[in-house]
């Protein structure tokens, strides 16, 4: 998804055109079946922190 297109809260897969909500990973458009894994992130003093 790093090469996907992002608009508002929707990211689109560049390979299959499936769409997902970046807030919770929910599928918004086919051909995807499964939601994406999402992680809480924040920027702290210029460092991106990912909560795993």
CB 21 within 8 A of CB 28: yes
**Chain position carrying tokens 């996907």:** 4
Please say if the pLDDT value at position 46 is more than 90.
yes
CB 11 within 8 A of CB 23: no
Domain that holds residue 23: 5-51
Instruction: Tell me the CATH number at 24.
Output: 2.102.10.10
Q: 15-27, pLDDT tens digit by residue?
A: 999 999 999 999 9
Helix and strand tally (H, E) in the chain? 0, 6
Q: How confident is the model at residue 36 (pLDDT cuts 50, 70, 90)?
A: very high
- Collapsed DSSP state (helix, strand, coil) of residue 18: coil
Q: What is the number of structural domains in the chain? A: 1
Residue 51 per-residue DSSP state: E
- Top pLDDT among 2 and 49 is at 49
């Amino acid at each position: 998804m790093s090469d996907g297109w992002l608009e508002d809260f929707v990211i689109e897969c560049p390979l299959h055109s499936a769409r997902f909500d970046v807030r919770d990973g929910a599928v918004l458009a086919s051909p995807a079946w499964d939601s994406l894994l999402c992680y809480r992130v924040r920027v702290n003093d210029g460092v991106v922190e990912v909560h795993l």
